[in-house]
Amino acid sequence: MPNRLIRESIRESDSIDKLSPQSEVMFYRLITYADDYGRFKADPRILNPALFPLKSYTDTQIIEWLDEVGKTFMISFYKGTDSKLYGYFANWGDYQQVRNKKSKYPEPNGNQFITISLLLQSLEINCYQLPTEASKCQQAQANAPVIQSNPIQSNPYPKEAFDINCYQKHGELQNVILTETEYQKLITKIGEKNTKDYIESLSLYMKSNGKKYKSHYAVILTWQRNDDKKSKQTKSTKLHRSLPNDEYPPDGLEEGQVK
């Protein structure tokens, strides 16, 4: 892999300034990863270990950062003639020297996409299987506008609301599996502290008893509802709710006592 050039003017680039720190790091590492024609494999499963061999990022994070860089129009994504996912730098030739006579990867075919999420959606990849766990999947739900090879350097698209449901490991033992959507729903329903407490309880319970469940989200909801019912029953017993209102003893007195 030849050395790449990064000009000092990049520090004052408006496009770079729009990036978050994580996606900016992604951009620089992509420069070192691209071939001599500015093309690179865009499959998140491949990019993740290739760009961050010493880090532990999820493939979902890789997709989010790729999307962020793509929205600046500095890179675009396409499906190659070999049916694999690729990306390329739009202005590669303006900053890098092309030494090889042939690219390692297929050339863009005129149907480039602004983000990797839109490319996945256009290919109807609704369950994008990850190699580390068969049950992981991520769905990119959005319309897929196509951009041409030389787009106007302005972003006509609003910020898309992608719902990428990638299963993540939770708990001390990393054996509780929830999508990001499920995790956020639990926080909304029962609070962040309770969510983490139930996750840890489920994690230890499964490990100690060898239990397996089809849906950890459903188990946590069931446990929470059962606990809520028990709590209400306990309060009901203490308040003697079976007594008519006029039979409650006065404040400070027990039943059978008189004032």
Q: Does 116 score more than 50 pLDDT?
A: yes
The most confident of 66-80, 96-110, 131-145, 147-161, by mean pLDDT: 66-80
What pLDDT sits at residue 239?
52
Name residue 9's amino acid. Answer: S
Tokens describing residue 251:
């404040």
pLDDT digits (tens, 9 = 90+) for 199-245: 999 999 998 988 888 889 999 999 999 998 888 877 666 554 444 44
Q: Higher-confidence residue: 3 or 135?
A: 3
What pLDDT sits at residue 28?
92
Could you give the percent of the chain with pLDDT greater than 70?
69
Q: How far apart are CA 170 and CA 172, in angstroms?
A: 7
Are 140 and 120 contacting, i.e. CB atoms less than 8 angstroms apart? yes
| Range in 11-20, 129-138, 165-174, 193-202 with the lowest mean pLDDT | 129-138
Q: How far apart are CA 42 and CA 59, in angstroms?
A: 11
Tokens describing residue 29:
């590492």
pLDDT digits (tens, 9 = 90+) for 130-144: 333 333 333 333 333
Give me the residue label for tokens 């990638």.
166
Q: Where are the domains of the chain?
A: 8-165, 169-240
**CB within 8 A of 202, min separation 6: which ones?**
171, 176, 216, 219, 220, 223
Strands in 85-89's sheet, in edge-to-edge order, are: 39-41, 85-89, 75-79, 112-113, 146-147
Q: Does 30 score more than 90 pLDDT?
A: yes
What is the arithmetic mean of pLDDT over 118-123? 80
Tokens describing residue 64:
């989010």
